[in-house]
Amino acid sequence: MRRLALLPIVALVACNNAEPGLLLDVFVEPGTTVELYAAKYCDGCPRGVKPPALTAMPISEAYLSFDGQAQPQTADASGLVRFRVATSYDTYLGIILVVATKPDGTQWTFVNYNVEIKEGASTRWEIRDFVQTYGLIDTVGTVPVDGTRRMLIWNRPGATTQACVLFEEWYSESSNGQTTINVDRDLVVPEDNMDCDALMTADECDPWTFNAILGPPKIETADCLLPISSIDGICRIGGPQCSETGGTVNECASLPEDYCLPQGLCGCAGMADLSGCLMAKFDLLQTDMPHALCEIHVDTDGTMCGGKIVLQPDIYLSGGSGTKCTAIRIADMATPFGPFVTEAPYPNGKMKLDNFSTPCRADLYFEGPLPANVPRYSLFELELDNRRHLVIPTLVGVKQGCDVQSRCDFFPGLVTDTMMRCVAEPAEGCYATQQCPDGGAYCHGTCCPPGEECTLNGCMCGDVATCPTGSSCIQDIYTRDECGVRCCPNGQCANPWN
């Protein structure tokens, strides 16, 4: 329950002849250090965070702080500290959080939500009333009293601004004659380092865990093949686990999402020269496996004839499962396998994918003088809406002469190839899918209730085979995949620490 600041607390006074923006006049005890956190809503952010020295915990809302966050200021003898938030367009701030640290070390906060700022307009707030705010601790097993505020602020090592703030306010709520104490917990983070550790977001194992000890592999570093699963027989790409602390990692672990290959290629699992083995297996088993052959015709200057090829790999979606293709990308048949991209280098030029459309089509272009008679082994990636990916081995050949049209043909291989199970069967997990309007995972022809995990044995909530009617699958604390861990009767689980 958001507690918005009302007019008696914040005076909103139009400023004549003032610079445009929102002027914050903060009145505090002289010598108080004041920090401002102004942030926008974060669409698509997870519902939890692992802050330093605390367990992972759920959050109500995440916000991304603006570039150039204001430096902390110390109030002079007048007790006034002034900030200005300006914008070149009409916008809303998801949160304005003012933190005041008094000379005695105690911290006090003012917070307001959903603040509109109009381009060219001038508005002034006077902020005088603060609530004392205590250090945030792990809360499992204890519930503070109504109105308690707690907070944790931490910085990237060596930095003084662009800090992360975890702010919570506890409140009472009555229903059906019962009163419960609940919590709103907000996270304010910089967009380029969302856990404020030593690594920037692009290099993170887990962007929401401070100094993550272990994270799952990334497709960008994936460089191995997992042994074929004894359960479903699928051949999958693997890679080294990620560590932000230099700990021991599994050098060939499962990726968070399945990247599925023709099963014949997993005969290369464990080979020192994996790329060379994949090319040899492709040549040997080509007719048996799903694959593509592209023949590019060029003129005497090496320019591609015809301008483009229309890729149509939708033959892999014809099994009636309803699974849809959502993107097509490409990479070399080399390790690491990723990243799969829409624009990749090619000898003397590049190949580009554009104009994706459903059911599964895209235009393929080649730029630059292409060398004739130089075959190139590549991989097409088909991203599916069941959180899986088909990886189609491809041989690209270049020939001179524009008397024949350039083309890419896709071949299904043997109907028994287990790669196609990645289309027909859902990935394990509790991710919302398009087939399920209630937000649950699509699982073996049915929809799991939200929070329940799709497994090879059907929908599960923790160790329970689906929750009984009138119950929901909930989390006790945040987990990466956001699956529930236990069934709880509806209406009894408003407090995340129950």
Residue pLDDT, tens place only, 29-59? 999 999 999 999 988 787 778 888 888 788 8
Higher pLDDT, 75 or 191: 75
So what's the pLDDT on residue 157?
A: 64
Of the listed ranges 99-113, 135-149, 341-355, 365-379, the one predicted with least confidence: 135-149
Residue 140 amino acid letter: V
Sheet containing strand 21-27, strands side by side: 10-14, 122-127, 21-27, 80-85
How confident is the model over 225-280, as pLDDT tens digits? Answer: 998 877 778 999 999 988 887 777 889 998 888 999 999 999 999 999 999 999 99
Note the pTM of the prediction, 2 decimals.
0.70
8 A C-beta contact, residue 328 and residue 309? no
Mean pLDDT, range 131-137, rounded to an integer: 93
Under the banding of pLDDT at 50, 70 and 90, the label for residue 372 is confident
* pLDDT (0 to 100) of residue 200: 67
Cis peptide before 359 (omega within 30 of 0): yes
Q: How far is CA 191 from the centre of its chain?
A: 13
Kindly report which listed range (347-351, 363-367, 395-399) carries the lowest average pLDDT score: 347-351
The tens digit of pLDDT for each residue in 404-415 reads 899 999 999 998
All residues at 6 or more sequence positions from 89 whose CB lies less than 8 Å from its CB, including other chains: 119
431-476 tens-digit pLDDT? 766 667 777 877 777 788 888 888 767 788 887 888 888 888 877 6
The full set of domain ranges for the chain reads 1-178, 280-424, 427-498
Mean pLDDT in residue range 345-361? 90
Rounded Cα–Cα distance for residues 145 and 388 (Å): 46
Residue 493 pLDDT > 70: no
pLDDT category of residue 477 using cuts at 50, 70 and 90: low
Mean pLDDT of the chain: 84
pLDDT digit string, tens, across residues 160-187: 556 889 999 999 988 888 888 888 999 9
**What percentage of the chain reaches a pLDDT higher than 90?**
43
Section 62-67 average pLDDT? 82
370 vs 102, higher pLDDT: 102
Q: Is residue 242 within 8 Å of 212, Cβ to Cβ?
A: yes
Alpha helices (runs of H) in 195-310, residue ranges in sequence order:
274-285
Higher pLDDT, 46 or 497: 46
Q: Is 145 in a helix, a strand, or coil? A: coil
Q: In whole angstroms, what is the distance from residue 274 CA to residue 258 CA? A: 19
Run of H or E including 329: strand 325-332
Of the pLDDT bands very low, low, confident and very high (cuts 50, 70, 90), residue 133 is very high
Q: What is the pLDDT of residue 75?
A: 95
What is the per-residue pLDDT for 127?
Answer: 96
Q: Is the pLDDT of residue 378 over 90?
A: yes
In this predicted structure, the answer to whether residue 479 has a pLDDT above a threshold of 60 is no
Domain formed by 280-424, architecture: Sandwich (2.60)
N- to C-terminal Cα separation, the chain: 18
The pLDDT value recorded for residue 17 is 41
Q: What pLDDT is attached to residue 482?
A: 64
Question: H or E element: which one contains 423?
Answer: helix 421-424
Residue 356 has pLDDT above 70, yes or no: yes
Q: How far apart are alpha carbons 27 and 127 in whole angstroms? A: 6
- Give the pLDDT score at 16: 42
Q: What are the backbone angles phi and psi of residue 302, rounded to the nearest 5°? A: 85, 10
Between CA 477 and CA 498 the distance in angstroms is: 10
Tokens of 224: 């191995």
| Contact between 344 and 379 (Cβ < 8 Å) | no
Q: Which phi and psi angles does 10 have, rounded to 5°?
A: -120, 120
Q: Which pLDDT score, from 0 to 100, does residue 6 have?
A: 35
> For residue 210, what pLDDT band results from cuts at 50, 70 and 90?
confident
CA–centroid distance for 106 within its chain = 36
For residue 455, the Cα-to-chain-centroid distance in whole angstroms is 22
CA separation for the pair 311, 402 (Å, rounded): 19
Cβ atoms of residues 1 and 171 within 8 Å = yes
The phi, psi pair for 33, rounded to 5°, reads: -90, 130
Mention every residue, 6+ apart, whose C-beta is less than 8 A from residue 51. 57, 136, 152, 154, 164, 166, 195, 210
Provide the β-strand partners of residue 112: 96
Q: Which residue has the higher pLDDT, 151 or 213?
A: 151
- Nearest alpha carbon to residue 292 among 378, 414, 366: 378
Quick one: pLDDT at residue 12? 35
Integer angstrom CA distances of residue 323 from 194, 280, 497: 33, 31, 37
- Return the closest-CA partner of residue 24 out of 65, 84, 64, 80: 84
pLDDT cut 70: percent of the chain above it: 88
pLDDT score for 55: 81
Q: What is the token pair recorded at 113?
A: 């939500």
- Please state, as a whole number, how many other Cβ atoms lie within 10 Å of the Cβ of residue 434: 12
Q: How far is Cα 454 from Cα 460, in angstroms, rounded to an integer?
A: 6
110 contacts 98 by C-beta, under 8 angstroms: yes
pLDDT of residue 18: 58
pLDDT greater than 50 at residue 13: no
pLDDT at 144 over 60: yes
